[in-house]
Amino acid sequence: MAARRRRRRLKKQTRKQLQVWGAVAAVIAVAWVAGNWSTVWPVLVTVLAAAALGGAGWALLRAHRRAVGQDRAWRAQEEARARELSMAQVDALTWQEFETYIAELCRRDGCRDVVVSGKSGDLGADVVGYLADGRKLVIQCKKYAAHRSVSSQDMQKFVGTARLEHGADVALFVTTCSAFTRDALGLALRQDIVALHRDLLGSWVKGAHLESLIPLNGSGGGTRRRPSA
Question: Tens of pLDDT along 128-168?
Answer: 999 999 999 999 999 999 999 999 999 999 999 999 999 99
The pLDDT confidence band at residue 222, using thresholds 50, 70 and 90, is very low
Bigger pLDDT: 218 vs 193? 193
The pLDDT confidence band at residue 119, using thresholds 50, 70 and 90, is low
- Candidates 135, 143, 50; CA nearest to 95 is 143
Residue 228's pLDDT is 41
- Classify residue 196 as exposed, middle or buried by CB count within 10 Å of its CB (0-12, 13-18, 19+): buried
Helices then strands, each counted (H, E), the chain: 7, 7
Are 117 and 99 contacting, i.e. CB atoms less than 8 angstroms apart? yes
CA–CA separation, 168 vs 163, rounded Å?
5
CA–CA separation, 5 vs 74, rounded Å?
66
Bigger pLDDT: 220 vs 101? 101
What's the gap between Cα 223 and its chain centre? 13
Residue 42's pLDDT is 74
How many angstroms separate the Cα of 175 from the Cα of each of 128, 187, 199, 221?
Answer: 16, 16, 10, 14
Residue 14's pLDDT is 73
Bigger pLDDT: 35 vs 174? 174
Least confident of 67-76, 125-134, 179-188, 196-205: 67-76
Whether pTM > 0.85 for this model: the answer is no
- The yes-or-no verdict on residue 82 having pLDDT over 60 is no
∠ CA 160-164-167, nearest 5°, is 125
Q: What is the mean pLDDT of residues 24-40?
A: 68
DSSP states of 58-73: HHHHHHHHHHHHHHHH
Structural element, H or E, at residue 104? helix 95-108
- The yes-or-no verdict on residue 5 having pLDDT over 80 is no
Residues 6+ away with beta carbon under 8 Å from 33: 40
Residues 6+ away with beta carbon under 8 Å from 165: 123, 124, 125
